[in-house]
């Protein structure tokens, strides 16, 4: 079965600094990969997804992620964070295009320092 590891439970970044959130997956073939963001008391919002093709994908709110097959990773990046980026970030993997649901990592809590 597929699995997702987000090694960082909490990350603190200064406003305006760059951000990288790590995600590693375990799956035999090329998976479908997603990043979702959850603000306090809210549902999950899709930031970006990778299905095939260009390994660098662009998402909403200035986020991007890079799929690296050799490292089984799909790290999320942003060149300059804003205070409004403080939230919980989830990496997820799916097989079958997500028709059988997503497997989520435990999440990374992003704290933005002024």
Distance in angstroms (rounded) separating the CA atoms of residues 22 and 108: 9
Question: Residue for token digits 């660098």?
Answer: 56
Q: Tell me how many residues contact another protein (CB under 8 A).
A: 25
44 near another protein (CB under 8 A): yes
Quickly list DSSP for 2-69: -EEE---SEEEEETTS-EEE--EEE-SSPPEEEEEEE-TT--EEEEEEE-SS-SEEE-GGG-EEEEEG
**Contact status: 54 vs another protein (CB under 8 A):** no
The residue (of 81 and 94) whose beta carbon lies closer to another protein is 94
In the bound state with another protein, the residue whose beta carbon lies nearer, of 28 and 97, is 97
Q: Output the CA–CA distances (angstroms, integers) from residue 50 to 17, 31, 78, 90, 105, in the order listed.
A: 25, 8, 17, 14, 16
Fill in the per-residue mask, 56 to 95: x = in contact with another protein (CB under 8 A), - = not in contact.
----------------------------------x---x-
32 contacts another protein (rule: CB under 8 A): yes
CB of 81 to another protein, least distance (A): 23
Residues that bind another protein (CB under 8 A): 32, 34, 36, 41-46, 49, 51, 90, 94, 96-107
């Amino acid at each position: 079965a597929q699995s997702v590891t987000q090694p960082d439970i909490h990350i603190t970044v200064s406003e305006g600094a760059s951000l990288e959130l790590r995600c590693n997956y375990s799956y035999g073939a090329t998976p479908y990969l997603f990043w979702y963001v959850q603000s306090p008391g809210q549902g999950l919002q899709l930031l970006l997804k990778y299905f095939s093709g260009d390994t660098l994908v662009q998402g909403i709110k200035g986020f991007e992620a890079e799929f690296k097959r050799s490292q089984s990773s799909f790290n999320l990046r942003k060149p300059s964070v804003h205070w409004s980026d403080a939230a919980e970030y989830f990496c997820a993997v799916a097989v079958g295009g997500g028709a059988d649901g997503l497997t989520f990592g435990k999440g990374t809590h992003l704290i933005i320092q002024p």
